[in-house]
Amino acid sequence: MANKEHLALLKQGAVRWLSWRTKNPEIEPDLSGASLRGINLRGAYLEGACLRNCDLSETVLIAAHLSRANLNTANLQAASLLDAHLIEASLVDAKLINADLRGADFSHANLIGANLRGADLQGADLSEANLIGTELRGANLRGANLSGANLKRTNLSEANLYQANLNLTNLSSANLHEARFHGAYLYKANLHKAKLSESHFGGAYVFWADLSEADLYKADFRWSNLSKANLAGANLSNANFTGANLSNAILAGADLRGASLNKANLSKVNLTGANLEAANLEDALLSQARLEMTVMPDGKIHP
């Protein structure tokens, strides 16, 4: 339950609140469970504050200082946190549906189980953040920094990840159906067993990424860089790899039935035991490719 004195001070305005916090730096404000719906807290200094289970829906928190704050189970639906500071903040099971989070800094924050469906995270910093099991369906993550973040089992279906930084990101077992990765960076990203059917990777950098056993049915990888990527055992049926760079990639045991590999670079690729039945290999480069026991486009097994 919120401290009545702290709550009263906050409602007196940003100037009075900042003055009190400056004079009492050792006190961590307790605003837990308070109703702050729709009020203007622009630039408010709430670093380290307890806002657990608060109602902050539609609240203006533009450029607010919330680093290390406790926002667990808080309701931030449709709140405005443009350029807010949330470094190392805790937002476990928080509700941020349709929130404006553009340019916000969530680096090292804990967002396990949070609901960010439809949120606008364009240009946000989520590096090293914990997003296990988070709901991000339809979220806008264009140009966001997710490097080193943990998004295991996260729902990112239909999300916009255009030009996002996903280097060293853990997306294992995540749902990325119809997600858009155009021009994104996924160097050494972990996408093991991820659901990526009908996703779009046009021009993306997927160098050395782990896509083993992932579902990439009808995925679009046109002109993307998948050099040294691990796609062993992946479902790549009807996927489009036109012009893609797959040199030194591992595709052992992968299902490539009906895939388009037109003009793809498959030099030194490992296709051992893969199924290429009805695949299009027109103008593909296959120099030094491993094809032992591979089912070729005509249905015959390569010796």
Task: Give me the tens of pLDDT residue by residue for the chain, a chain 303 residues long.
Answer: 889 999 999 988 878 888 999 999 899 999 999 999 999 999 999 999 999 999 999 999 999 999 999 999 999 999 999 999 999 999 999 999 999 999 999 999 999 999 999 999 999 999 999 999 999 999 999 999 999 999 999 999 999 999 999 999 999 999 999 999 999 999 999 999 999 999 999 999 999 999 999 999 999 999 999 999 999 999 999 999 999 999 999 999 999 999 999 999 999 999 999 999 999 999 999 999 999 999 999 999 998
- Per the CB < 8 A criterion, the answer to whether 65 and 47 are in contact is yes
Total residue length of the chain: 303
Q: Which residue has the tokens 């396990």?
A: 112
- Per the CB < 8 A criterion, the answer to whether 153 and 135 are in contact is no
Question: CA–CA separation, 31 vs 11, rounded Å?
Answer: 11
pLDDT at 1: 82
pLDDT at 216: 98
Question: CA–CA separation, 7 vs 33, rounded Å?
Answer: 11
93 contacts: CB under 8 Å, gap ≥ 6: 72, 73, 112, 113, 114
pLDDT at 125: 98
Report the predicted TM-score, pTM, of the whole model to 2 decimal places: 0.95
Residue type, 203: G
Q: For 163, left (φ over 0), alpha (ψ -120 to 50), or beta? A: left
Question: CA–CA separation, 77 vs 226, rounded Å?
Answer: 38
Q: Three-class SS of residue 17?
A: helix
In sequence order, which ranges of the chain are alpha helices (DSSP H)?
4-10, 14-23
25 contacts: CB under 8 Å, gap ≥ 6: none
pLDDT at 18: 87
